[in-house]
Amino acid sequence: MQILGPESYQPYEERMQKTIQSLHENLNAIRAGRANPHVLDRITIEYYGVKTPLSQVANIQVPESRMINITPWDPTTLKLIERAIQASELGINPNNDGKMIRLMFPALTEDRRRDLVKQVARYGEEAKVAIRNIRRDGIDKFRGLLKNKELTEDSMAEFETEIQTLTDFHIAEIERVIAEKDKDLMEI
């Protein structure tokens, strides 16, 4: 018979933490009217035959609340960066002055804010589903151990209680993060 310890829950908790981290990365890519350099995190350019993130080929600065300046370390990449930004889902036209690229973030309209709130809710729901799937995977694994008589009924009940507590904690964290992002988006 197997006795449960904290290490029994650890892999599931780590997976749940990675889900929360992924949610944060998705939300950082949504622009909230203010300039946020994280909106550029997913943009890459073909640099010497390798897909390279923008942050590795240029200096990214936020001099004003609605502007991002991108200064490439290699001036020959300026056009590549400009094309990558235009091809992205950012929805902003880059201004290229020959030395740097400026991104001006317009104020968000009410309709655009509502669309972004819906997108945030979608990301939140996907994260909740992922957390629940992790819980299900854990319970299925331990039910298999119970079926093979490698685990007692009491240990199984303890695991189910503990994994549900972890699930509830992480879902509450997702709801807190989503509410914070919604508030940020709806600020004028």
Query: If you classify domain 10-28+109-186 with CATH, what class do you get?
Result: mainly alpha
Residues 55-89: pLDDT tens digits? 889 999 988 888 899 999 988 889 988 988 888 87
Sign of CA dihedral 114, 115, 116, 118: positive
Residues 87-116: pLDDT tens digits? 887 778 888 998 999 988 877 788 888 888
Count of Cβ atoms closer than 10 Å to residue 13 Cβ: 17
Are 137 and 128 within 8 A, CB to CB?
no
Instruction: List the chain domain ranges.
Output: 10-28+109-186, 37-104
Q: Is the pTM of this model over 0.75?
A: no
Write phi, then psi, for 51 (nearest 5 degrees). Answer: -65, 115
CA distances for 126 relative to 111, 120, 122, 133, 188, angstroms: 23, 10, 6, 11, 27
State the architecture of 37-104 in CATH terms.
2-Layer Sandwich (3.30)
Does residue 35 surpass a pLDDT of 50?
A: yes
pLDDT at 121: 94
